[in-house]
Amino acid sequence: MSEAAIKIEDDLMPVDQMLEATQQIVNQDLKPLTVKIDLDGYYPEEVLRKMGPLGAYRQHLPLARADGQVDMGAAIQSMATVSHECLSTGFSVWCQDTCGWYLQNADSDAVRNIWLPKVSSGEVLGGTGMSNTMKAFAGIEDFRLSGQRVDGGYVVNGTLPWVSNLGENHVFGTLFSVAGKNQSVMTLV
């Protein structure tokens, strides 16, 4: 895994400041929306985007941090701060963090180098489409996505009934089975 191509220009603000700023976003922006989120299914995209510049989505990703460190506690505290007000939004923060983790661990340098900075900064919001994958691995259901190898990649067909934190121009990580093989491939869609 090549790490040199990812350039992180800035350093993270101290964790206490990041958590304080997260709490301000919760109080000023999220709290007025909580009932609308829970009762009407409102998606708090602007709240999620505001957390990116704070570094909330980079705490657990050494390749997205100038210091190369991992602070799982800070990532969890950030999620907990949001979740204390709204579990639905807290879950979306977890989805964003999880998408970043998928990218942190991507085999493809090109995918990681392009998408990790965008997802870890909140420029692009992301999620996870792994419900079907976990059920397929457990033998509960078949893979719902199947890919056929073609020049330059795969053509993937199928449906995923559940993808968490998915909106317009968002990305998500999932797996698909390779047609005719006992193989699966992780992808960013």
Task: Identify the CATH number of the domain in which residue 45 sits.
Answer: 1.10.540.10
**Which is more confidently placed, 5 or 180?**
180
Same domain, 19 and 62: yes
Answer whether residue 9 is part of any domain.
Answer: no
Answer whether residue 178 is part of any domain.
Answer: yes
Q: Give pTM, 2 decimals.
A: 0.88
Answer whether residue 88 is part of any domain.
Answer: yes
CA 136 to each of CA 6, 34, 105, 177, 179: distance values in angstroms, whole numbers, following the listed order: 33, 34, 21, 10, 15
Give the pair of three-digit tokens for residue 37. 């989120």
Same domain, 88 and 154: no
Vertex 170: Cα angle to 116 and 44 (nearest 5): 110
Question: Which residue type is seen at 82?
Answer: V
Same domain, 101 and 19: yes
Answer whether residue 79 is part of any domain.
Answer: yes
Same domain, 26 and 108: yes
CA 93 to each of CA 46, 128, 177: distance values in angstroms, whole numbers, following the listed order: 12, 11, 28
CB–CB of 125/15 below 8 Å? no
Number of domains making up the chain: 2
Question: Which residue type is seen at 93?
Answer: V
Give the mean pLDDT of 65-94: 96
The pLDDT score that the predictor gives to residue 169 is: 86
CB–CB of 55/100 below 8 Å? no
CA gap 28, 55 in Å, rounded: 18
Give the pair of three-digit tokens for residue 97. 């963090």
**CB neighbourhood size of 27 (10 A):** 11
The pLDDT score that the predictor gives to residue 4 is: 45
The pLDDT score that the predictor gives to residue 160 is: 83
**Which is more confidently placed, 9 or 47?**
47
Same domain, 162 and 135: yes
Answer whether residue 84 is part of any domain.
Answer: yes
Same domain, 69 and 149: no
Return all residues near 101 (Cβ < 8 A) that are at least 6 apart.
60, 61
The pLDDT score that the predictor gives to residue 12 is: 82
In this predicted structure, the answer to whether residue 7 has a pLDDT above a threshold of 60 is no
Give the mean pLDDT of 180-187: 87
Q: What is the 8-class DSSP label of residue 56?
A: T
CB–CB of 148/177 below 8 Å? no
In this predicted structure, the answer to whether residue 5 has a pLDDT above a threshold of 60 is no
Same domain, 42 and 91: yes
Same domain, 92 and 19: yes
The DSSP H or E segment spanning 70 is none
Q: Domain of 36?
A: 15-112
CB–CB of 62/47 below 8 Å? no
Query: Each residue of 103-155: pLDDT tens digit?
Result: 999 999 999 999 999 999 999 999 888 888 899 899 999 889 999 999 988 99
Answer whether residue 154 is part of any domain.
Answer: yes
Query: Each residue of 34-78: pLDDT tens digit?
Result: 999 999 999 999 999 999 999 999 999 999 998 899 999 999 999
Tell me how far apart the 2 most distant CA atoms of the chain are, in Å: 52
